[in-house]
Amino acid sequence: MNGPLPNKNYLGRLAIVLHAHLPFVRKNEKNSLEEDWLFQAILECYIPLLQVMESSKKQDTSNTKLTLSLSPTLLSLLQNKQIQKKYSSWIKTRIEFLNDLSKKEQAASEFLLRNIKNNYLYWEKCSGDLVERFKNLNLTGNLDILTCAATHGYLPILRENPETVLGQINTAIRSHKVIFGTRPLGIWLPECAYYEKLDEILLNCGIRYAVLDGHGILNGSPRPRYGVYAPICSKKGIAFFGRDSESTLPVWSSREGYPGNSVYREFHKDLGWELSSTELQKKGIPTSRPLGLKFHRITNNNCSLGKKEFYVEDEAIKKVEEHADNYLLSRSKQLKKLSLSASFEPLLIAPFDAELFGHWWYEGPRFIENILKRSTKYFIKLTNLREILLQNPNLQICDPSPSSWGQGGFHNYWLNDKNAWIVPEITKAGSVFVELSSNKFNDDFSIRLLKQAARELLLSESSDWSFILKAGTTTELAKERIDRHLFRFWKLIEMLENKSFIDYKFLKNIEEEDNIFPNIRIQDWQL
């Protein structure tokens, strides 16, 4: 590095922000895809990230800093004792699959078996309580844990009934407080989506800062003096941090970024697609599906899955170290340029889906590990959002622009010809619920019905289903989930309005199955 450093021993600050979220898993459903998504994320992402943070913290507490959003649905799943028990069985089944491979395949998958066993030992050591490990890192200040909307509802399409936005946020805050013992001050807005006057709702709920896409900051009013390189403060008093695209593109893009390198593990070639239905059923897997067992490398993007070469772990480890150095060198050059051209200390905000690191990009946690270890070498100070605001910076007053982190900053990924039909359905349900919740129901049974109706409404509002419908992947699953929760919602409303037709068995079954948010309050939907 050439040239003078700023008044401190670093060029500027980098805040990596990870957003961890998965949709709710039904309690009584066996072998669900959502359950597989969760277990693969635990194995490939959440445990490796915890290991990286805890190991790095022992070596350098001051520079081991990340911001992490844990959605309320994900937290409810991680704390579920039944799911914790099922995860142990799920892992053991995967180990059996790997042990059954041919000698050639066993040699190629040796790294995977070793890593799975290592992660399972970690799981056993903490008795499956990953939330407690996250909590400890939050208490030491190494992690700044944010909340999210309760079921990851896309807030701009809920705005017609502001009370439904309130329900999403208040329920999330209440759940977070029960789990972590303190009210969250920061929030990850689902899909970084913002609309006018959302800051007022956030303020009234006790939220003080959030992350936005760069479009939300750069198109703000007035245009921010320092662009996305410093947080802004809305007129209502909420601080907003803007995504820096230059800091995120090399990591999230499989085409233009690091994850697409030929030596990294191939995501799409999964053992589950190659085994016969008979072989799967012997292990209790009813249909062909990804098992999370992948031991081939990308090789090259034009190579068919059948011609992918076996993964070589040492080559991938070497490459991810190179990529971490390349990333940090690029950020240091970026920060130096910003430092020389402006009289402020620049800040780079790099937000990502947490599941990118480990699940989609297998080497991702090791990349994070190298960033934590090597950042000081490049005169970069790692920080988190809470630490930045604790320094009481002088923020420019600026109202952010409506935006999301979808393409171009628009809302159209969650509102288009594939999923727009959802909006009138959840809007109608939300309007009815808001009206009924404002009535003075004093009897316990009515409140019981309303609470379960609130859960079904929240679950139907999840943006996961809109995303899946647009992506065209498991569309039948997404439609079935929306229809199921709305059906249950309307049946509960019918029972509330006509108590001569109470289906007690139905009520008990869905209370057991959709048992999320035990501390839910109807008052949280009231302005």
Between helix 444-460 and helix 475-497 the angle, nearest 10°, is 160
- Cβ neighbours for 212, distance < 8 A, ≥ 6 positions apart: 189, 192, 194, 240, 241, 242, 243, 400, 403
Q: CA 46 → CA 70, 115, 186, 435, distances in Å?
A: 11, 13, 20, 40
Count of other CB atoms within 10 angstroms of residue 318: 12
Catalytic-role residue among 34, 191, 199, 244: 191
Q: Has 244 been labeled as part of a binding site?
A: no
Which residue type does 325 have?
D
CA gap 132, 135 in Å, rounded = 5
- Left, alpha or beta for 191 (phi > 0: left; psi -120 to 50: alpha)? left
> Is 163 an active-site residue?
no
- Alpha-carbon torsion (318, 319, 323, 329), positive or negative: positive
Q: Has 399 been labeled as part of a binding site?
A: no
Structure tokens at 13: 């600050």
Q: Has 153 been labeled as part of a binding site?
A: no
CA gap 246, 243 in Å, rounded = 9
Q: CA 318 → CA 241, 250, 308, 311, distances in Å?
A: 33, 17, 20, 13
Catalytic-role residue among 279, 353, 387, 513: 353
31, 285 contact by CB (below 8 A): yes
> Is 363 an active-site residue?
no
Q: Has 514 been labeled as part of a binding site?
A: no
Binding site residue list: 243, 260, 405, 464
Binding site residue list for substrate: 243, 260, 405, 464
Which residues are tagged catalytic? 191, 353
